[in-house]
A and B are shown apart, each in its own frame.
Chain A
Amino acid sequence: MPPSLLASPAVKPRRTLLLAGLLLASPLLAGPRVPPVASYRMDVTYDGANHTLAGQSAVTFVNRTSRPFPDLCFHLYLNAWRNDRSTWLREHEEGADPARRKGKSAEWFSWSEIHRIALPDGTDLTKGLKYLAPDDGNADDRTVACVPLPAPVAPGGTLSFTLDWAAKLPRTRARTGWKDDFVMGAQWFPKLGVATDAGWNVHQFHAGTEFFADFGDYDVTLTLPKEMKGKAGASGVQKEETDVAAGVKVRFLAEDVHDFAWTASPRYEVHRESFSEPGLPNVEMILLLQPDHRRVKDRYFAATRAALREYGTRYVPYPYPQVTIVDPPWGAASGGMEYPTLFTGGVSWLSPAGTGSPEGVTVHEFGHQIFYGLLASNEFEEAHLDEGFNTYAADVTMRAAFGEAPLVKRFFGIPVVFPSIRLPRPEWGNERYLDWQVASRSDAPNHPSFKQLDRAAIRTNAYSKTALTLASAERTLGAETFGKILKSYATRFAFRHPTTADFRSVVKEIAGEEADALFREAWDSSNTFDYAIGSVSTKRAGEPVGWVGEGPDRTFSEPREPKGPATYESVVVVRRMGEAVWPVDVEMAFEGGHVFRTVWDGKDRWIRYRATGPKLLAARVDPDRKLLLDVNRLNNGMRVEEDRRAADRWAMRLRFWAQNALEFFALLGFAGTVR
């Protein structure tokens, strides 16, 4: 390791530009920022021919907890693909679609090794390095390593040390690696776990979960092949680019972040535009675009602008001066991923305007700059806090900025747009939860993500169920109240590691215990939400039949036609078919346009409503679709009298299309002759 590297302080003073940005947004950024805990100064050479990395890291760890740390623990994420005994590959093989499993050749495997770890006084700690498997005890997994220290790092103390390390990138897996001349460096260097009052929070790399790290500053110099000159992007801001014998040296500085990712490709076309909006900090947007995606350049920028505006207004302003949008090449399996100040989008070669691609993925991945980048929750344990919140927020932004997208289907690779079929947000994108709820419901969202049954459970809970819970809460509590909750949560916990408990404390504070109960129902169990109209009836009220009066006045009243204006006695039974509870609206529609509405707390198994007056036409539970977690919308309403029009209309269409389909089949067997 060069002496100069050790001599340089890894932690630098706060940058004025970032401070200015934060001050501009001071009304929204009420929470204090966390001072750096883990900072890295790295000098790394990438060998483009062999896809290897050789790096030296100078790391500064500041113990800001209340307990001493007798050791250091690292993530070596690239060992997830060291061989097929790793936890990641075992879990992936168990859950992946066979068609999506990748090959077994060397290009698909990777490794990460620490060759030397030393303290500034020269003490070599390397021999003490041991691989651990805290989650599943898998002795073959090498994604977590710890090394004991000669003396603990006391609370408030600082430890600097150096690492000599090397790694090999795989053909892209989990959005890291290379394809052709494209390279994406993500989870690529030995990285400290998170220091907490309970000790190191380190988890093995799992196939279904993401990451967790402490905030810090990164000063990274990359030596890349010379054809990548001017074609690299990374977290933070590029400071220098110089030609060297081995290629080109590029230096990036990233401050107040908890990860660092980079990318390079000779094929990138680099575009820059500015975001400027009153009340929000200015941001420079850098787009690294594939040449075959030129036609969507403006759509990438428009989506990023919309996200900067909506997230900045609704939650917390993006505080960094720059954001880098990476458009990965076809087949690189790197699209749709977030890193601090950099994210990957993704778009198809044929992507008609108005179909939501690349807008959807761009908004979503930018959104992680807030729900992951600033609100740096533990993605191993509480994946819903970043994915679910951001899925909800991205839906809100997409609806506000782009409306509902039409149905698009690809026939033999060619997209066909069905403009008359609009897909409602947020329901359509999150239908997966409702399907899963019927098929599995194995875990509650609050169950630690990496411990959930399978990847379907992790993904469904993290993304869809949480997004639908938030959207349902918004509709139930009201947009204003819910907006206040989210803004308070975002501003209070920016640059911190919020937990579910932190969010619910904000909910309770702003909307009370009843509001918190909604999240308890949705997140603390896997119970099903299903409200239904059990029965409806209405009958004309007539004169009483039977004995009336008492004593000598008692007479028998025969059935007879009622006189006067028609009055009806109506009965509606609303039922809770699922186990979970949510307050729901109940609506009864009567003849003459009369509508009666009430709110049922939804706690009992059923409730019966009786009404006397005009004839009842229909009853509906949750008529405004507030409870988006309801797994069966077909039982949410009932008419007193049948109306066959809709079914007849569709049955006729279906018969016609079936006739045509059968006619296609007839072509298989039909042939004739003429004499």
Chain B
Amino acid sequence: MTTYHYQGHGYDHSLQALELYSRGQLLDMFYQMLRIRRVEESIESRYHEDEMKTPIHLVIGQEASAVGICSSLTNNDLVYCSHRTHGVYLAKGGDLNAMLSEFYCRANGCVGSKGGSMHLLDKKAGMAGASAIVAGVVPIATGAAFTAYFREESWVSTVFFGDAATEEGAMWESLNFAALKRLPVIYICENNYYSVCTPLASRQPAVDIYRKAESFGLNSMVVDGTNVLAVREAMTEATSLARRGKGPSFIETRAYRWRGHGGAGDDSASGYRDPEEVALWQQHCPIESFAQFLTQNSVLDPSRRQAMETRIGEEINAAFDFAIASEVPTEKDLYRYVYSE
């Protein structure tokens, strides 16, 4: 069994970020990650009630990727996502009430109970689409970037997918076209080393994923996906290139999925990965490592942290109450929106 180790350096090299970002920006990145973690934990703790009748793909352990990327974007920039949607949706500013309503199959869910957890959407926030088909959304995000290129507009399209998406042909067809036309698209490969229960080593030869993208003519990088500042720095470079017509970028973020592929809890006891591997990665928690860095540098203190926890807890409780109290769809809704008028 191949073991996947953390290869980063924590925040050892991140001191310059204190100059680069305001306290407000640093605290906001922390707050966004903490909020995603707490939302995920709340979903997980209530999942056994069987009232959220939707598959869930928890992003616990990988929060820094969504937040590092989305904090570099504006509201006009569009984001697309594979099945592991929760973190990206929230990081891009998606509405929490509408997300939980969708999970509870309510009529006022973000897509009216027609998409479920793998198809979260909030157009006002620029969360523009998601697909449960691995790599299916990659060409779609590339097509959105084509629109920006075609109209000579300055927004960028960003797409999140897992390591296994790079085993689908449409991925490379998209990269080829994006590089050919120099489209303003940024590909985010969230490499968490497992596709459901199948480790990377069973699926790909030992060639770094970002190197493959590089060979297609993209600006390619690999970053510590537990380090929100490292992710943001890479994304800042990528968006800067894209907005100046310098073409697409590919960022591989390496972090670890603490939970199983789908559902609640860690399933490593089933034997496909070593529980010790999970424990080792949990020592590199994206949230606590950043908290430590911010605390050491006097940006965060315990009372501020506690205030954040309280605010997030209240927001989450209110959102669950909202979703549970919302109306379910009617039979008439089943037939709406098959075709557009």
A binds B: no
- Could you tell me which B residues sit within 8 Å of A by CB distance? none
A residues bordering B, Cβ < 8 Å? none
